[in-house]
Amino acid sequence: MPSRTAGKLCPKGAFLPPRMRHYAAVSAQIFAILERFTPLLEPLSLDEAFLDVTGAQRIFGDGPEIARKIRAAIQAETGLTASAGVAPNKFLAKIASDLHKPDGLTVVPNDPAGIRAFLAPLPVGRLWGVGDVMRARLEAKGIQTIGDLQRLSLAELTSLVGKGSAVFFKELAEGRDDREVEPQRQELSVSREHTFDTDVRDRDEVERVLAGLVDDVGRSLRRLQKFATGVQLKLRWQGFETITRQKKLPRPGADDFVLLTAARELFAREKLIKPVRLVGFGVHGLVSEAGRQLALFEDPGTRKRERVCRTVDAIREKFGDHSIRRGGSK
């Protein structure tokens, strides 16, 4: 839930700022471990991924044995526990990995009858695409579990949810999912957001936070060794009305000076019509060095600014985020 909501429910709670750079560093450790076992790795988030280990079994053992080895390596090298689901496809593996957290290992049967039996007692809300509204509609008709849905004919289910959804849900209820693992989907954008504890009317305060978000996005870009071709500003007003504004950069860039200039230009065009609840900044259209087409008469300061930013990154990595700051920051 949003921290604002949690704060109202638990006013004496201790709320700590996230450490995204630290999380990203540990995530890189974990993904390096996963890559030892298979190159067929599809990241879902900082701490979750699909792995296709079909071709690795001659070296590392069967699926459950590989899962045990991965979990042991993560524990030994990072001190963290990890949950895993071993299954014939992505849908079943995802469900299995969630069943016995934390530090759980769940193995799904391979045969159709065993798969049906595994899914049958689970709440119908476990199916992908069954959100709160759909779950309430199904439960109102007595469909509480996946087993209840398995027993419906396609025609019966179609009358409740429509043909397209009915076919999709029946496939999942039987444990069928033919999607392949998609290795290392290319990062197409990077963004950061900040929700204020109380809605802010002070333009300078919003811009100060925006500058910090630009710094974070810039560090992530340089860590990915990518360059942005466009930037985006996001503002959410009191009342949750949200606007986004975009700008194309004159040439692909990854230095904080260029990114901050573009962010300030977008922000300067917007009147703060209401108190600001959230501000966000992102970059998109990422390209690599090889795909970066620089102008014939490149700004001679471009490379120098990038070197400065990478030096600042290194200092912050070693001495902490607050060891070196932008002039004028608090």
Q: Which residues are catalytic?
A: 48
Q: Which residues pair with 105 in a beta bridge?
A: 84
Cβ neighbors of 83 (< 8 A, separation 6 or more) are 97, 98, 100, 101, 102, 103, 104, 105, 106
Name the amino acid, one letter, at 220.
Answer: S
76/74 Cα distance (integer angstroms): 6
Triad 20, 25, 28: Cα angle to 5°:
125
**3 state SS of 240:** coil
Residue 169 CB neighbours (<10 A): 26
Q: Please, are residues 226 and 288 in contact by the beta-carbon 8 Å criterion?
A: yes
Q: How far apart are CA 67 and CA 48, in angstroms?
A: 13
Tracing tokens 């989907």 back to the chain, one arrives at 185
DSSP letter assigned to residue 239? T
Torsion over CA of 126, 51, 184 and 73, rounded to 10 degrees? 110
> Strand (E) positions, the chain?
41-45, 48-51, 84-86, 105-107, 189-200, 228-237, 242-253, 276-284
Task: Report angle CA 320, 200, 254 to the nearest 5 degrees.
Answer: 45
